[in-house]
Structure 1
């Protein structure tokens, strides 16, 4: 796991990249979230899509809802960076669309887009 920090609009954003899967369930999400938040003193985190279990993107598993609820409960703004075009599920695409309209969870295609969303989130 590689963690770097940037500050934009007075907000510290943790930019995390991992070649291994970090998020597989609620507990792994909580552990990862708290580790990153503690190390960076930030409540805004980006993570590359490849660091998230593929089961997350199958809404029937309920993993996405469980994990993202942890981020919301702990007031951690979270952006997932990646190419989501291979997902054809209407419900998943609707879910990502609705998340992007909010202020806590974002599905974006670039690090810069993640920084922009997280630095402006209320």
Structure 2
């Protein structure tokens, strides 16, 4: 885990290795880490997501993402979710809609996050 500055935004970048985000409490821990680091955005590698995180019927992603929004934090899921998107129209719709907003994004690379922040803060 490291904190970096990207286009005027302090980003907490989680490593791909570590405890998976598999419960609401894990989401709370990330929010606490972000506040401790002074970050306003958390970049989470897709590898860190528990196996049920993006299964929308579990409501885990929605609950965790809503907490990020409630605490005025942004979140970027970094990595390839194409396989998951192929199997779920609901997830495809969810990713498309969140990517239109300013709070929750799904991006392929950390470079894509940097580019998006640069465009947003230009």
The question of a shared fold, defined as TM-score above 0.5 by the shorter chain, is answered with: yes
Structure 2 gap segments, 5+ residues each: none
**How far, CA to CA, are the matches of 1:37 and 1:118 in structure 2?**
20
For residues 31 and 117 of structure 2, what CA distance do their matches in structure 1 show?
15
| Cα shift at 1:93 | 0.7
CA distance in 2, matches of 1:104, 1:80: 11
TM-score scaled to structure 1, two decimals?
Answer: 0.87
In the TM superposition, structure 1's runs of 4+ consecutive aligned residues that sit over 4 Å from their partners are none
In structure 2, the partner of 1:32 is: 30
The alignment's TM-score, normalised by the length of structure 2, stands at: 0.87
Equivalent residues, number? 118
Q: Secondary structure at the match of 2:106?
A: strand
Q: How does 1:80-99 map to 2 (within 5 A)?
A: 80-87=77-84, 88-99=87-98
Q: Given that residues 24 and 56 in structure 1 are in contact (C-alpha distance below 8 angstroms), is that contact kept between their aligned partners in structure 2?
A: yes
Question: 1:107-122 maps to which residues of 2 (within 5 A)?
Answer: 107-118=106-117, 120=120
Local SS of the residue matching 2:52: helix
Q: Mind listing any 5+ residue stretches in structure 1 that lack a counterpart?
A: none
